[in-house]
């Protein structure tokens, strides 16, 4: 790390823009965490690019003293792919919300994940459309009452981490807006990961969906409603650390069990962040029957789109097949009738 980079502080990553989120919005906490994380990554500000779509979370690039695009609704993954391909030296970040990322931009999200484009994708999941005044979103729980679902939403919600795994994501994690240390660590690991790192952040919208994640965030209650995954460790949770997750080998389903009596830690599932089948089951867990899993759910080393494109270009160049002149003089490709 050169001296100039070593002296960077969180303030160097903050802009002079007035932050325009509602008081108490979870986005503030996420912004602070990322501004604090940035100087520790050992990279100059000029190497960082934040790309967003449209929505409350998508105001993020205004507040980062880095390069950034506040782009088109749902299209941040596409623009970010172009940025990374044009200059692989840049660290590229996508900031998106549940509506922007999984409704308007659902299609684009799938492709950036399956291509494994090397970038960090931060999905602020508040389970509501905040900017447009509180309509239910693709991740809103069934029964959610909103201006666009006054009788309660009938839709089955998407679970972002489950969709990301299904699309072939090579790094999938989940964290919570106000848990700075936890959030910082899963983002740091995502940053070190080669490929598309998808990080779902449970984010409170105090205006239109306040307390939506109260159980998983509440200091006293959270022990019973969330489980913190650690690679290689048995999956234990509960305020008294007296519950765990095990795999029923008869029907291959997860089960919540109480420790004690016949059941010991040795009976519990051990988290293996390289096991995709297990990751799919863990990421789908939700209340009231199961705790919500947070932490690094899945990680896989596999080749990424950016490197593959570079290799292909090099092969074409070294094979002598790349000639603009030859292309331009290759004759007609169509015949006028
Ligand atoms: Fe945050 Fe909700 Fe306000 Fe949007 S509407 S800025 S998500 S509190």
Residue 332 vs residue 23, higher pLDDT:
23
In this prediction, residue 8 carries a pLDDT of 94
Decide if pLDDT at 70 tops 90: yes
Instruction: Assess whether 177 and 291 both reside in one domain.
Output: yes
Residue to probe by mutation, ligand 1, list 25, 129, 201, most atoms within 8 Å of CB: 25
Question: Would 75 be classed as within a structural domain?
Answer: yes
Boundary (domain end) residue, out of 270, 292, 326:
270
In this prediction, residue 5 carries a pLDDT of 80
Decide if pLDDT at 333 tops 80: no
Question: Would 301 be classed as within a structural domain?
Answer: yes
Per-residue pLDDT tens digits for 142-190: 999 999 999 999 999 999 999 999 999 999 999 999 999 999 999 999 9
End-to-end CA distance of the chain: 64
Write the CB contacts of 97 (distance below 8 Å, at least 6 apart in sequence): 53, 55, 56, 57, 58, 123, 124, 125, 126, 130, 137
How sure is the predictor about 336, in pLDDT bands with cuts at 50, 70 and 90? confident
Atom of ligand 1 nearest to the CA of 26: 1
Instruction: Assess whether 212 and 245 both reside in one domain.
Output: no
Q: Is the CB of 199 under 6 A from ligand 1?
A: no
Atom of ligand 1 nearest to the CA of 130: 5
- Name the 3-class secondary structure at 187: helix
**Structure pTM?**
0.94
In this prediction, residue 230 carries a pLDDT of 98
Instruction: Assess whether 249 and 278 both reside in one domain.
Output: no
Instruction: Assess whether 244 and 215 both reside in one domain.
Output: no
Residue minimizing CA distance to atom 5 of ligand 1 = 130
Decide if pLDDT at 337 tops 80: no
How sure is the predictor about 1, in pLDDT bands with cuts at 50, 70 and 90? low
Boundary (domain end) residue, out of 270, 292, 321:
270
Decide if pLDDT at 62 tops 90: yes
Per-residue pLDDT tens digits for 201-244: 999 999 999 999 999 998 888 999 999 999 999 999 999 999 99
- Count of alpha carbons within 13 angstroms of residue 102, beta-carbon side: 27
With tokens 């998983």, the residue in question is 216
Residue minimizing CA distance to atom 3 of ligand 1 = 22
Structural domain count of the chain: 2
Instruction: Assess whether 56 and 150 both reside in one domain.
Output: yes
Question: Would 25 be classed as within a structural domain?
Answer: yes
Decide if pLDDT at 79 tops 80: yes
Decide if pLDDT at 335 tops 80: no
Residue to probe by mutation, ligand 1, list 18, 19, 22, most atoms within 8 Å of CB: 22
In this prediction, residue 316 carries a pLDDT of 87
Instruction: Assess whether 105 and 184 both reside in one domain.
Output: yes
In this prediction, residue 84 carries a pLDDT of 98
CATH number at residue 279: 3.40.50.970
Instruction: Assess whether 241 and 211 both reside in one domain.
Output: no
Instruction: Assess whether 74 and 62 both reside in one domain.
Output: yes
Instruction: Assess whether 11 and 80 both reside in one domain.
Output: yes
Domain range for residue 256?
A: 234-270
In this prediction, residue 199 carries a pLDDT of 98
Q: Tell me, what DSSP letter sits at residue 46? A: G
Residue 51 vs residue 329, higher pLDDT:
51
Instruction: Assess whether 280 and 265 both reside in one domain.
Output: no
Question: Would 332 be classed as within a structural domain?
Answer: no
Instruction: Assess whether 107 and 14 both reside in one domain.
Output: yes
Instruction: Assess whether 266 and 283 both reside in one domain.
Output: no
Question: Would 322 be classed as within a structural domain?
Answer: no
Write the CB contacts of 188 (distance below 8 Å, at least 6 apart in sequence): 37, 40, 41
Q: Determine the average pLDDT of the residues in 276-284.
A: 97
């Amino acid at each position: 790390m050169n001296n100039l980079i070593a002296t960077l502080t969180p303030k160097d990553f903050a802009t002079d823009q007035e932050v325009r989120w509602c008081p108490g919005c979870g986005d503030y906490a996420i912004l602070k965490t990322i501004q604090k994380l940035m100087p520790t990554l050992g990279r100059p500000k000029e190497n960082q690019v934040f790309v967003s779509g449209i929505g409350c979370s998508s105001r993020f690039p205004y507040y980062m003293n880095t390069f950034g695009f506040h782009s088109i609704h749902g299209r941040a993954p596409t623009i970010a792919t172009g940025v990374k391909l044009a200059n692989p030296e840049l660290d590229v970040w996508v900031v998106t919300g549940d509506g922007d990322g999984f409704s308007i931009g659902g299609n684009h999200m799938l492709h950036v994940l399956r291509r494994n484009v090397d970038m960090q994708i931060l999905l602020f999941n508040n389970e509501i459309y905040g900017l447009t005044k509180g309509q239910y979103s693709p991740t809103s729980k069934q029964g959610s009452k909103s201006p666009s679902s006054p009788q309660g939403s009938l839709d089955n919600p998407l679970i972002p981490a489950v969709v990301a795994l299904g699309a072939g994501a090579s790094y999938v994690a989940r964290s919570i807006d106000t848990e700075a240390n936890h959030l910082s660590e899963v983002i740091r690991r995502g940053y070190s990961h080669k490929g598309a790192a998808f990080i779902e952040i449970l984010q409170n919208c105090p205006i239109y969906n306040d307390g939506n994640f109260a159980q998983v965030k509440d200091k006293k209650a959270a022990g019973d409603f969330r489980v913190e995954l650690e690679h290689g460790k048995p999956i234990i949770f509960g305020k008294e650390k007296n519950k765990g997750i095990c795999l029923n080998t008869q029907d291959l389903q997860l089960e919540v069990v109480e420790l004690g009596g016949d059941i010991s830690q040795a009976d519990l599932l051990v988290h293996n962040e390289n096991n995709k089948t297990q990751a799919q089951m863990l990421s789908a867990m939700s209340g009231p029957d199961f705790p919500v899993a947070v932490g690094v759910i899945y990680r896989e080393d596999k080749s990424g789109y950016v490197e593959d494109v570079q290799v292909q270009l090099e092969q074409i160049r070294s094979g002598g097949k790349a000639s603009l002149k030859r292309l331009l003089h290759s004759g007609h490709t169509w015949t006028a009738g």
